[in-house]
Amino acid sequence: MFRNSWQKKIWLVLLSVCFVCSVVSQGKLEKNDRPDSNTFSNPIISGFAPDPSICRAGDDFYLINSTFEYFPGIPIYHSKDLINWNLIGYALHDPSQVELDNIKSSDGIHASTIRYFNGTFYIITTNNIDGKLVNFIVTAKDPKGPWSKPFVLKDAPGIDPSLFFDDDGKVWYTGNWIPPDPEFEGQAEIWLQELNLEKMQLVGKKHYLWRGCCGGAWAEGPHIYKKNGTYYLLISEGGTLYEHAVVVAASKSITGPYQNNLRNPILSHRQLSYDYPITGVGHADLVELKDGRWYMVALGWRYVDGRHGILGRETFLLPVKWETEPYWWKKDKMTFPVASARTGKIELRYPVPFKGTTQAREKGFEDDFDTENLKLEWNFRRTPKKTFYSLTSTKGYLRLFLQPGSIAERSQYSFIGIRQRHFQFEATTEFSFLPKTDNEEAGLIVIQNDRSAFLSTLATKGTKRIVKLRQSLYEKESVLAEKSVDGERVFLKVIGDYLNYSFYYSIDGTNWKVLDENIDATSLSPAVIKGFNYTGVYVGLYASSNGKRTRNFVDFAGFKYSPLLKNRGDWFQRQLENFK
């Protein structure tokens, strides 16, 4: 085949180059985990980070997400480079600010919008209480807080409110609502009204702007922007699953009429296979950089095995460019944003927005409970009616007081948890607990919502002390494993490997014994659980007296969560290999 040795050498070099290019293109080489990387990986905020909204204040960027039944509500992240985000606080940090006491799973705080104007930050959002929609605004001078009490807006139907501060001093409210003459179930319409910022009241006439380019099929998430004298209305359509999409219209007047972009949708994965690793992209917000460049944040699902988005919807970042129609015969040429211009879809990797910046490695979380307040990462399910924990009862320990509420109830129970942010992870805890009756338990749990959870707890069974593992599904429980233990001090561990979870226990924290391994955890997937599922998996600490009152408590000495992924893109490659 080769006439001489130099031809053979050249051919081998070419084969090597092609092989490397092929590997890189499929995500097997994860360059952005290296210190000298000039790219970043999506998502930028992983693990239950839906409905992103973003704003810029000088050189600083701030981003928020929906939180539904979890409290504190509406996390606020800060970044200088758009790719590394730090949690700095919550907009809803006081139980008196919001009613979340007994709401259903995936009710509560829906899509929120953050905006910065004249030295003040504004967040507007919806609280869904059994179908009663309450739209309100909170404000702060410092995004870290404290945030104000809610200003509830009257006669503001629908969900997904947004604010626009025009350059003439007027402030406008946009939201969606179900029109009085819907042509099909799920049809919605975008409306607009002026807001009196001093009185926090809607004033003037309601203007009905647009039903989108798909007839208003779940038209939601509206935001208005202004560029070169033109107003742009950005919305999402198609629902938050495979058909989700971002569409845009333009007008010379804020009240319309709005002209549809003939190239809509400007972002969607509805054209891709159901088993593509990133799906359901939509609910976007735009931000302009100081140098005039634009970026978009949007939610998306990372699916594994074709249909399981156990981490919930997450936040992705992509570049945006503005293009003017090239048609010479048009007198008035339209200009519209183009998302991810090279491919039209969210990519796993993009060049970093700011040269010289590097995306940090995947972060874990650890808490030795040696502070006076809980760390920001911890969340409760629903608003605590009363304080059920203490960091001061015993120094260096988190004390959880047992409450009658249990995991499958639509109520408050003693639970604090953090988001599962990785498909592969390990979480461990150490605690001391003396159950007084068989109904008392405490330990480590993995939970999607009231309908689905795994509980690894220390309890008693007659005269025995046991560590038991059970599954809670649709208000029914099944025991998966049960082991006898000695003493009141126990270590528990869970290892997640995509859709398989393994649970372990130890008396000394070194020698681990199997409770149960490789459990099928597809029951944590929104695709499997009945009802609406807008959140993601949490890993946390739990204590319950299961219907009976008690004064008992458990002392946790520590909690540690560690990602096990070697590279950021491993999940992407796994999905591609499973569905060729």
* Catalytic (active-site) positions: 51, 220
Q: What is the DSSP letter of 214?
A: T
Question: d(Cα 55, Cα 115) in Å, to the nearest integer?
Answer: 6
Say if strands 113-117 and 86-92 run parallel, antiparallel, or are unpaired: unpaired
The candidate with the shortest Cα–Cα distance to 503, out of 547, 558, 577, 453, is 453
Question: d(Cα 42, Cα 52) in Å, to the nearest integer?
Answer: 14
Write the CB contacts of 144 (distance below 8 Å, at least 6 apart in sequence): 76, 88, 89
The number of beta carbons lying within 10 Å of the beta carbon of residue 118 is 7
| Per-position DSSP letters for 414-432, written without gaps between them | EEEEEE---SEEEEEEEEE
Which token pair is 413? 């129970």
CB 111 within 8 A of CB 160: yes
Secondary structure element (H or E) that encloses residue 248, with its range: strand 245-251
DSSP 3-state assignment of 96?
A: helix
C-alpha distance across the termini of the chain, in Å: 33
CB 536 within 8 A of CB 312: yes
Angle at 393 between CA 427 and CA 412, to 5 degrees: 60
The candidate with the shortest Cα–Cα distance to 284, out of 240, 325, 254, is 240
Burial of 507 (0-12, 13-18, 19+ CB in 10 A): middle
Question: d(Cα 86, Cα 75) in Å, to the nearest integer?
Answer: 10
